[in-house]
C-alpha cells in the first residue's frame, strides 16, 4: 500500500482525506491481528501534560514494534526546568529520535514543533485544539464494533467547545456519510465556525436541546471540564450523567464511547452493559498507534 504518511507530521485531522483514513484503519486491523514487521527506529515521547492512555499506549506500541523509546512525562525533570526553551528542546530531541510524539497544554504547540523539526511530529493532544491519533482509534473502534462508519447516526455529548478529541473526531467523520447530533451545555457548544465547516463539507449536523439517545448508533460522551468554568454554579448546571437507566432508551446495538478519563459523567454501573465500549476504545490505542508509527516511519 502506498500512503502519503511516510515521513510526514500527523498534527491534525482537518486535512486528512477518506482514502488516507481508510488506509490507516485497514493497517490498524493488521497490527491488531499481530501481522506486522519490527521497526528499528527511536521514538521520543515528550509529554508536557498528564496522560494515562495516550502515553502508555504509545509506549506499548513502541515496545511491541521493537523500537526504542526516549523522552519524558514530567517536563520538570528535563532542562525546561532550568529555563531551556521549547524550541531548543525540539531541536535537540530531533537529533536523537526518528519521530517525536508531543502532548502539550498549548494549542498549536505540535504544529509549531513540526515547523522546527526535521523529523516527523505526532500530535498527542495540544490544548483544546486537536488529538488526531485519538480520532483514528475512535474511528477504528466504531468500525470494529459496528462493521461500518457510513450510514451511522452519531451523537456527541459534553464539552464540545474545548474537547480536542471532539475537534479531531468531527473532521475525521466528515469524510463519511454520517448524521451527526450534538448535545452540550449552552456555554460548551461546538464553535459555530466548526459547525459551518462540517455542513459545508456535506455532513448533516443536528443541534439537540435535550439529551436524547433514541435512534443513535454511536454515543460519544466527553468530560465537562471543571477547570473551564469561572462560575462553579454554572459548572454544576452544565454537568450531565449517563446512568444505567439510560441504557433502556438506547438502540439495542448502540455503543457508548468516551475518550476517558471520565469523572462521573458515566455511572460505573453502566460499564457492565453491552453498550459500554470505552475500555475497548482505550485498548485500540495500541494497534492504531503501532500502525501510525509504522506508516510514518516506513516500517511496513
- Binding-site ranges for ligand CP (CB under 6 A): 51-54, 125, 131, 134, 259-261
Q: Smallest distance from the beta carbon of 165 to ligand CP, in angstroms?
A: 6
Q: How far apart are CA 25 and CA 191, in angstroms?
A: 28
Is residue 117 within 8 A of residue 109, CB to CB? The reply is no
Q: How far apart are CA 204 and CA 145, in angstroms?
A: 22
Q: Smallest distance from the beta carbon of 228 to ligand CP, in angstroms?
A: 16
Q: Smallest distance from the beta carbon of 51 to ligand CP, in angstroms?
A: 3
Nearer to ligand CP, 28 or 134 (CB): 134
Nearer to ligand CP, 133 or 294 (CB): 133
Q: Smallest distance from the beta carbon of 124 to ligand CP, in angstroms?
A: 7
Nearer to ligand CP, 120 or 259 (CB): 259
Nearer to ligand CP, 30 or 53 (CB): 53
CA distances from residue 14 to 35, 198, 207, 250, 298 in whole angstroms, order as listed: 29, 10, 21, 30, 23
Q: Smallest distance from the beta carbon of 155 to ligand CP, in angstroms?
A: 19
Q: How far apart are CA 149 and CA 178, in angstroms?
A: 7
Q: How far apart are CA 110 and CA 49, in angstroms?
A: 13
Q: How far apart are CA 44 and CA 28, in angstroms?
A: 21
Nearer to ligand CP, 94 or 138 (CB): 138
Collect all residues with Cβ–Cβ distance below 8 Å to 97 and sequence separation of at least 6: 42, 43, 44, 70, 119
Q: Smallest distance from the beta carbon of 55 to ligand CP, in angstroms?
A: 6
Q: Smallest distance from the beta carbon of 136 to ligand CP, in angstroms?
A: 12
Of 162, 216, 231, 153, the C-alpha closest to 190 is 162
Percent of the chain as helix, strand, coil, to the nearest 5: 40, 15, 40
Nearer to ligand CP, 51 or 68 (CB): 51
Nearer to ligand CP, 188 or 195 (CB): 188
Amino acid at each position: 500500500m502506498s500512503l502519503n504518511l511516510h515521513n510526514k507530521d500527523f498534527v491534525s485531522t482537518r486535512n486528512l482525506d477518506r482514502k488516507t483514513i481508510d488506509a490507516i484503519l485497514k493497517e490498524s486491523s493488521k497490527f491488531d491481528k499481530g501481522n506486522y514487521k519490527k521497526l528499528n527506529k527511536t521514538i521520543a515521547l515528550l509529554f508536557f501534560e498528564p496522560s494515562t492512555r495516550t502515553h502508555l499506549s504509545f509506549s506499548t506500541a513502541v515496545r511491541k514494534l521493537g523500537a526504542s523509546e526516549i523522552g519524558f512525562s514530567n517536563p520538570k525533570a528535563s532542562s525546561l526546568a532550568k529555563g531551556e526553551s521549547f524550541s531548543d528542546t525540539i531541536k535537540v530531541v530531533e537529533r536523537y529520535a526518528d519521530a517525536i510524539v508531543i502532548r502539550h497544554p498549548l494549542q498549536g504547540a505540535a504544529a509549531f514543533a513540526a515547523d522546527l523539526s526535521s523529523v516527523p511530529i505526532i500530535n498527542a493532544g495540544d490544548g483544546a485544539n486537536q488529538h488526531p491519533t485519538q480520532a483514528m482509534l475512535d474511528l477504528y473502534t466504531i468500525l470494529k464494533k459496528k462493521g461500518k462508519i457510513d450510514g451511522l447516526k452519531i451523537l456527541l455529548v459534553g464539552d464540545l467547545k474545548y474537547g480536542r478529541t471532539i475537534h479531531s473526531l468531527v473532521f475525521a467523520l466528515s469524510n463519511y456519510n454520517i448524521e451527526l447530533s450534538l448535545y452540550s451545555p449552552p456555554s460548551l457548544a461546538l464553535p459555530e465556525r466548526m459547525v459551518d465547516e462540517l455542513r459545508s463539507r456535506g455532513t448533516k449536523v443536528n443541534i439537540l436541546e435535550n439529551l436524547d439517545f433514541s435512534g443513535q448508533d454511536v454515543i460519544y460522551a466527553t468530560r465537562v471540564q471543571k477547570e473551564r468554568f469561572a462560575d462553579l454554579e454554572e459548572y454544576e448546571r452544565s454537568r450531565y450523567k449517563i446512568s444505567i437507566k439510560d441504557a433502556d432508551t438506547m438502540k439495542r446495538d448502540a455503543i457508548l464511547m468516551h475518550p476517558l478519563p471520565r469523572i462521573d459523567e458515566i455511572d460505573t454501573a453502566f460499564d457492565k452493559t453491552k453498550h459500554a465500549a470505552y475500555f475497548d476504545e482505550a485498548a485500540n490505542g495500541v494497534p492504531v498507534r503501532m500502525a501510525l508509527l509504522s506508516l510514518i516511519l516506513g516500517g511496513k
